[in-house]
Amino acid sequence: MLIIQIPSKPKSNRHLVITAPPLMIETNSMNLFPKSFIATGKFLFVGLLCGTASIVSQGNEPQKASAKPSLVAADSSLQLVVGDCKFSEGPAADKDGNVYFTDQPNDRIVRVGVDGVVSDFLKPAGRSNGMFFAPDGKLIACADENNEMWEIDANGKHRVLFDSFADKKLNGPNDVWVHPTLPVMYFTDPYYQRPWWKHKTKPQDTQAIYRVDRDGKNIERLSFEFVQPNGIVGDTSRNLLYVADIGEKKTYVFKIGSDGSLSDRKLFCEEGSDGMTIDELGNVYLTGKPGVSVFAPDGTKLETIAIPEKWTANVCFGGADRKTLFVTASDSLYTVKMNVAGMR
């Protein structure tokens, strides 16, 4: 397993000897932070372990790390794109590679264009959380201000697809994935108490995943037990759906039937996740405290991309070639160039 590590502070008795190109944090032309940001401790340096590396500790012989190619581009740099959020979440790319993400406490959806221009797309935004673009170009958003699922058009106009199950409000739709060829989508409905809610208990009797028609009709709670389901993403090339149970610290994989039904639940890995994405090779990207953890289709952990924030919430591929990883983490949005494109 490769670890792309960004230390938060120097360690006087330990350093990393790298024979691969360094991966540096750089701010973009927006100058959201002064140049002193790089020198004040939030960032020191990061070594890309795509060559031979030795960790040298005081009093110990150098220890060789296994040499494997990284999914991160060798000449890449970790870019801070936005740093003025309260909590960033829900990145999703449209067909052109423009990325939209949410700043839920500030109740806005932000757009990052392929030209690099950052702008507010929608405010207020229903306290949107996880999002995903449907094949028709509409943005599907888990708008948990009123426990709703929204469909948003290119002009920012929205309509509520649904907000309840069995005549009770949903707990708070958290993340959603829309199938690109079947008229169906899946979403997770955990319970996280929000400061803008008047109720203090979960409306539904369980935290579950749901299947629903793309038009918002025929919502169905799926009979799979979860502690607290969160991130969700599909692999249509293999007809698979991945669901992270952050409460159980596990991620599961299901087979998707031709009718959109799920079956053959299996444990994918012993790690939960807040958000998820997948690349063209079928590698699955999970998020959390360490940053972005990448797993091969067989569940083997490949590498971890460390992000210099307390929590990494979500991730997606974007850009014109889909080879840029967009990472929402705490109050920020970062990008990093990859050797692999996201699954379309």
pLDDT in tens, 263-314: 999 999 999 999 999 999 999 999 999 999 999 999 999 999 999 999 999 9
Instruction: Kindly report which listed range (16-20, 57-61, 135-139) carries the lowest average pLDDT score.
Output: 16-20
Mean pLDDT, rounded, for 65-75: 78
- Quick check: 210 pLDDT over 50? yes
pTM, two decimal places? 0.83
| Rounded Cα distance, 232 and 130, in Å | 9
In terms of residues, how long is the chain? 344
With respect to CATH, is domain 78-337 assigned 3.40.1190.10? no
Where in the chain do CATH 2.120.10.30 domains reside? 78-337
**Among 40, 61, 91, 86, residue whose Cα is nearest residue 308:** 40
Question: CB-based contacts of 6: which residues, under 8 Å, 6+ apart?
Answer: 25, 43, 44, 45, 46, 78, 291, 306, 307, 308
Mean pLDDT, rounded, for 84-112: 97
Mean pLDDT, rounded, for 62-67: 43
- 294 touches 284 (CB < 8 A): yes
Note the pLDDT of residue 68: 72
Q: How many CB atoms lie within 10 A of CB 198?
A: 4
Looking at the DSSP bridge assignments, the partners of residue 240 are 235, 255
Mean pLDDT, rounded, for 66-89: 90
Note the pLDDT of residue 264: 97
Q: 73 or 6: which carries more pLDDT confidence? A: 73
- 229 touches 243 (CB < 8 A): yes
Question: CB-based contacts of 217: which residues, under 8 Å, 6+ apart?
Answer: none
Note the pLDDT of residue 65: 42
304 phi and psi angles, rounded to 5 deg = -125, 125
Give the pLDDT band of residue 77 (cuts 50, 70, 90): confident
Mean pLDDT, rounded, for 333-338: 98
